[in-house]
């Protein structure tokens, strides 16, 4: 049986940007429950899981399954999945409570840092907003959402409105970086 595996078999039906693995590893601490959440939704592939195990071991982790994951490859995807699930099940369930918020933050942080290289970054934000179930915490930088703080876009120029949206986006990133204790 032959499997065709892309380097990043990500983003199934989601509009999650192609975030480099190293960016994710360095962005926010992902426990194995967080990783499983992303894996089950197609945000990361088997190669990310193996890479995260390698990254964890390089930082001092020594769980036997993490060590075993490092040596698995594309022909052992089922074993990668099995070990990922086992590692996630061993963690406290509360560790996975913020998984969706972490992945949302990762996508939006990478997108913001690379916005000048993307044709319509605010359009991508709108797609991410939909894919993540319309999270209220990012409504302030979704173009088509009405302002909740009394701001009147009709009293400002188009450029001022766009600048405000980007400022709201940056404020969200700073706020969430504090929540997730991200180094900025």
Q: What is the CA radius of gyration of the chain?
A: 18
| All residues at 6 or more sequence positions from 155 whose CB lies less than 8 Å from its CB, including other chains | none
Q: Which of 20, 26, 66, 15 is nearest to 180 (CA)?
A: 26
| All residues at 6 or more sequence positions from 61 whose CB lies less than 8 Å from its CB, including other chains | 53
pLDDT digits (tens, 9 = 90+) for 128-145: 999 999 999 999 999 998
Q: Which of 95, 81, 119, 120 is nearest to 180 (CA)?
A: 95
CA atoms within a 13 Å half-sphere pointing along the CA-CB vector of 57: 16
- Between 61 and 39, the higher pLDDT residue: 39
- Residue ranges per domain, the chain? 21-96, 99-179
pLDDT digits (tens, 9 = 90+) for 45-99: 999 999 999 988 888 877 888 888 888 877 888 989 999 999 999 887 776 678 9
Angstrom distance (rounded) from CA 164 to CA 104:
20
């Amino acid at each position: 049986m032959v499997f065709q595996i892309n380097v990043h078999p990500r983003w199934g039906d989601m509009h999650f940007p192609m975030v480099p693995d190293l960016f994710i590893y360095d962005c926010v601490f992902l426990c194995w429950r967080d990783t499983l959440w992303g894996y089950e939704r197609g945000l990361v592939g088997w190669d990310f899981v193996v890479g995260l195990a390698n990254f964890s071991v390089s930082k001092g982790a020594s769980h036997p399954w993490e060590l075993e994951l490092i040596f698995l490859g594309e022909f052992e995807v089922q074993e990668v999945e099995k070990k990922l699930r086992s590692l996630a099940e061993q963690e406290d369930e509360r560790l996975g409570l913020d998984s969706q918020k972490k992945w949302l933050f990762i996508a939006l942080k990478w997108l913001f840092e690379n916005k000048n290289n993307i044709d319509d970054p605010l359009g991508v934000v709108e797609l991410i907003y939909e894919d993540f179930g319309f999270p209220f915490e990012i409504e302030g930088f979704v173009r088509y959402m009405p302002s909740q703080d009394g701001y009147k876009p009709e009293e400002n120029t188009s450029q001022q409105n766009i600048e405000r949206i980007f400022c709201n986006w940056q404020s969200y990133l700073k706020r969430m970086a504090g929540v997730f204790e991200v180094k900025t």
